Amino acid sequence: MAASASVRSSVGLTLRLSRVIPDCSKCPFNRLNSYFNGVAGLSKVDRFRTLNRHLQTSRGLYHSEESAGAEDPEEDAVNVVYIDRSGKRIPVKAKVGDNAMYLAHRHNIELEGACEASLACSTCHVYVNRDHFNKLPEPEEREDDMLDMAPALQENSRLSCQIILTQELDGIELTLPKVTRNFYVDGHVPKPH
């Protein structure tokens, strides 16, 4: 019943818990939410099937994301690498149907999403590596319109809120643009405390 309750809970809860507080991995709600987000992208039939599996194995609700991945068939897993603004590579295990922007949020990667995936801003702008860029479906006109406003626009720019992960995109690398104008001249990076 907890699983269906989590499904009924709003996306707002997802955002609330995956955004401001740095270390979410201890909180059981986070795992509920990441499950919910993974499900959100699937078709109705898939969603029901996955839901069922998780209802039956209630332990699945409380596993960390890594071990939940191990329970699922390999076809569902998609490897994604985020490259953050300091150049650090952050590999993430995602599922087919995951939204690349919300996936980044769940892993506390520094990617904003001001308009919440409604193609009304460009804050989730990423660069896609060449090999996978060509595999993405063409952007719709509204995405291109928003991309036009993104600083440091490149040919391989996309809005991550429009990237839905598929098996074909396994290994995709998403780089966060260095949009700041005053990254420290001496290369200083603020230390986490």
Q: How far is the CB of 187 from other proteins (least distance, A)?
A: 12
Q: How far is CA 31 from CA 38, 65, 159, 161, in A?
A: 11, 7, 25, 21
Tell me how far apart the alpha carbons of residues 99 and 106 are, in angstroms, rounded to a whole number: 11
**DSSP-derived pairing of the beta strands 77-83 and 172-175:** parallel
Residue 86's CB: how many other CB atoms inside 10 A? 11
DSSP state of 141: H
CB of 130 to other proteins, least distance (A): 18
Query: What mask of x and - would describe binding to other proteins in positions 10 to 39, judged by CB under 8 A?
Result: --x--xx--xxxxx---x------------
Nearer to other proteins (CB atom), residue 38 or residue 113: 113
Q: Binding of other proteins at residue 7 (CB under 8 A)?
A: no
If binding is defined by CB under 8 A, does position 112 make contact with other proteins? yes
Query: Minimum distance between the CB of residue 114 and other proteins, rounded to whole angstroms?
Result: 4
Q: Is 184 in the site for other proteins (CB under 8 A)?
A: yes
- The reply on whether position 88 binds other proteins by CB under 8 A is no
Across the strands, what pairs with 78?
Answer: 94
- Interacting span for other proteins (CB under 8 A) from 55-63, 67-75, 126-134, 175-183: 175-183
Q: Which of 52, 145, 167, 171 binds other proteins (CB under 8 A)?
A: 145
With tokens 């569902």, the residue in question is 76
Instruction: Give CA torsion, residues 116, 113, 16, 46, to 10 deg.
Output: 60
Q: Quick check: 137 binds other proteins (CB under 8 A)? A: no
State yes or no: residue 140 binds other proteins (CB under 8 A): no
Burial (CB count within 10 angstroms: exposed 0-12, middle 13-18, buried 19+), residue 157: buried
Q: Name which of 110 and 131 has its Cβ closer to other proteins.
A: 110
Nearest CA to 165 among 65, 81, 67?
81
Residues that bind other proteins (CB under 8 A): 12, 15-16, 19-23, 27, 112-116, 118-123, 142, 144-146, 148-151, 153, 179-184, 188, 190-193
